[in-house]
Chains A and B, each alone.
Chain A
Amino acid sequence: MYNEIVMDHFQNPRNIGEMTEPSGVGEVGNMKCGDIMKIFIKVEDGVIEDINFLTFGCGAAIASSSVLTEMVKGKTLEEALAITNKQVADELGGLPEAKMHCSNLAADALHKAIEDYRQKQTA
Chain B
Amino acid sequence: MKRIYMDHGATTPMREEVLEAMLPYLKEIHGNPSSFHSFGREARKGMDEAREKVARALGASSPEEIYFTSSGTESDNLAVKGIARALSSRGNHIITSSIEHHAVLDTVKHLGEEGFEVTFLPVDEYGMVDPKDLEAALTDRTILASIMMANNEVGTIQPVEEMARICHEKEVYFHTDAVQAIGHLPVNLEKQPFDLLSLSAHKFYGPKGIGALYVRKGTKIKQILFGGGQERKLRPSTENIPAIVGLGRAIELAVENIPEKSAALTALRDRLFKGLQEEIEDIRVNGHPTQRLPGNVNISVAYVEGESILLSLDLKGIAISSGSACTSGALDPSHVLMAMGLDHQTAHGSLRFSLGKENSEEEVDYVIESLKEIVERLRKMSSVYKK
Give the residues in chain B near A10, CB-CB below 8 Å.
308, 311
A33 and B325 form a contact (CB under 8 A): yes
**Does A58 make an interface contact (CB < 8 A)?**
yes
Contact code string B302-315 (vs A, CB < 8 Å = 1, else 0): 01110110010001
**Does B331 make an interface contact (CB < 8 A)?**
yes
Instruction: Kindly identify which residue among B303, B324, B381, B382 contacts A34, using a CB–CB cutoff of 8 Å.
Output: B324
User: Interface residues of A: mostly helix, strand, loop or mixed?
Assistant: mixed
Q: Would you give the shortest CB distance from A105 to chain B, in whole angstroms? A: 12
Give the residues in chain A near B326, CB-CB below 8 Å.
34, 57-58, 60, 99, 102-103
Q: Which stretch of A35-43, A84-92, A113-121 is in the interface?
A: A35-43
Residue of B nearest to A30 (CB): B344
Q: Which size class do A's interface residues fall under?
A: 20 to 34
Instruction: Kindly identify which residue among B308, B331, B333, B381 contacts A54, using a CB–CB cutoff of 8 Å.
Output: B381
Give the residues in chain B near A23, CB-CB below 8 Å.
none
Report the separation of the CA atoms of residues A2 and B312 in the bound assembly, to the nearest whole angstrom. Answer: 13
List B51-70 residues whose CB lies under 8 Å from chain A. none
Give the residues in chain A near B305, CB-CB below 8 Å.
34-35, 56-58, 61
Give the residues in chain A near B332, CB-CB below 8 Å.
32
Q: Would you give the shortest CB distance from B299 to chain A, in whole angstroms? A: 17
Report the separation of the CA atoms of residues A114 and B160 in the bound assembly, to the nearest whole angstrom. Answer: 58
A32 and B344 form a contact (CB under 8 A): yes
B382 and A56 form a contact (CB under 8 A): yes
**Does A123 make an interface contact (CB < 8 A)?**
no
Instruction: Kindly identify which residue among A13, A60, A98, A103 contacts B381, using a CB–CB cutoff of 8 Å.
Output: A13
List B349-387 residues whose CB lies under 8 Å from chain A. 380-385
**Does A50 make an interface contact (CB < 8 A)?**
no
A59 and B383 form a contact (CB under 8 A): no
**Does A82 make an interface contact (CB < 8 A)?**
no
B348 and A34 form a contact (CB under 8 A): yes
B348 and A31 form a contact (CB under 8 A): yes
**Does A108 make an interface contact (CB < 8 A)?**
no
Give the residues in chain A near B115, CB-CB below 8 Å.
none
Whether A54 touches B344, Cβ cut-off 8 Å, given contacts A10-B311, A33-B325, A33-B331, is no
B304 and A56 form a contact (CB under 8 A): yes
Q: Would you give the shortest CB distance from B313 to chain A, in whole angstroms? A: 12
Contact code string B86-103 (vs A, CB < 8 Å = 1, else 0): 000000000000000000
B331 and A16 form a contact (CB under 8 A): no
**Does B289 make an interface contact (CB < 8 A)?**
no
Report the separation of the CA atoms of residues A55 and B307 in the bound assembly, to the nearest whole angstrom. Answer: 13
**Does A62 make an interface contact (CB < 8 A)?**
yes
Give the residues in chain B near A3, CB-CB below 8 Å.
none
A-B contact pairs, 22 of them (CB 8 A): A10-B308, A17-B381, A27-B383, A31-B344, A32-B344, A34-B325, A34-B344, A37-B383, A38-B383, A53-B381, A54-B381, A54-B383, A54-B385, A56-B384, A57-B308, A57-B326, A58-B308, A58-B311, A58-B326, A59-B311, A99-B326, A102-B326
Given contact pairs A31-B343, A55-B383, enumerate 16 new A-B contacts (beta carbons under 8 Å).
A11-B315, A17-B380, A32-B344, A34-B324, A34-B345, A35-B305, A36-B384, A54-B381, A54-B385, A56-B303, A57-B308, A57-B326, A58-B324, A59-B311, A60-B326, A98-B329
Chain B interface (Cβ < 8 Å from any Cβ of A): 303-305, 307-308, 311, 315, 324-326, 329, 331-333, 343-345, 348, 380-385
Chain A interface (Cβ < 8 Å from any Cβ of B): 2, 10-11, 13, 16-17, 27, 31-38, 53-62, 98-99, 102-103
